[in-house]
Structure 1
Amino acid sequence: MKKIQITQELFVKMLKYFYSDELEIDDYELNELYYDIKNGIDKKMDAISRRSYYTEYKTAETDAAREKARQKYLDAVGMHRDFRY
């Protein structure tokens, strides 16, 4: 299984969220932490998906599979169709 790295800031927010009872964090800050953590995880999942598409593009065995993976990667990074070759 591969390892995934997250930023120290996201890790600290996760610790604060899960230890909020001991740290006596109020509901407003807890709600903010929740959304910050959710956004951080969403960004990380997007990065993982983009990297997966890029790796698939670079390691595909056939030209058709390579082109399909390239298109998925370009869609994932938000490259407009007019700027693609």
Structure 2
Amino acid sequence: MRNVQISQELFMQLLRFHLMEDESCEKEIKKELEKKLDRMVMRDLFGKSKTAPTEEEREQARKEYLDRRGVPESFRW
């Protein structure tokens, strides 16, 4: 299992939420965790687009990566 790094600010918010039961930062925690998850998915897709075992899998990952990045079809190679 891989390690995941988060910002110190998010870590402190998580500590406050869980240890001090401070629910005032719940929305911010959710927003930051969703952003982190999106970045992890993008990183995984980029890696697959370069290292997948078959050309078909690489092309599929490349297309999904570019779709998520918002690159228009007319701008792709």
The alignment's TM-score, normalised by the length of structure 2, stands at 0.87
Question: Matched residues in 2 for 1:41 and 1:10: separation?
Answer: 8
The number of aligned residues is 77
Q: Which has the higher contact order (CA 8 A, sep 6+)?
A: 1
Of stretches 43-52 and 11-20 in structure 1, the one that deviates more from structure 2 is: 11-20
Match in the other structure for 1:15: 15
Q: Which amino acid in the other structure matches residue 5 of structure 1? A: Q
Say if 2:4 is the partner of 1:4.
Answer: yes
Q: In angstroms, what is the RMSD of aligned CA positions?
A: 1.5
Match in the other structure for 1:41: 33
Match in the other structure for 1:56: 48
The alpha carbon displacement at 1:20 in A equals 2.6
Of stretches 55-64 and 37-46 in structure 1, the one that deviates more from structure 2 is: 55-64
Question: Matched residues in 1 for 2:4 and 2:56: separation?
Answer: 30
The structure number with the bigger radius of gyration is 1
Match in the other structure for 2:71: 79
Question: Matched residues in 1 for 2:18 and 2:12: separation?
Answer: 10
Moved over 3 A (4+): none
Q: Which amino acid in the other structure matches residue 12 of structure 1? A: M
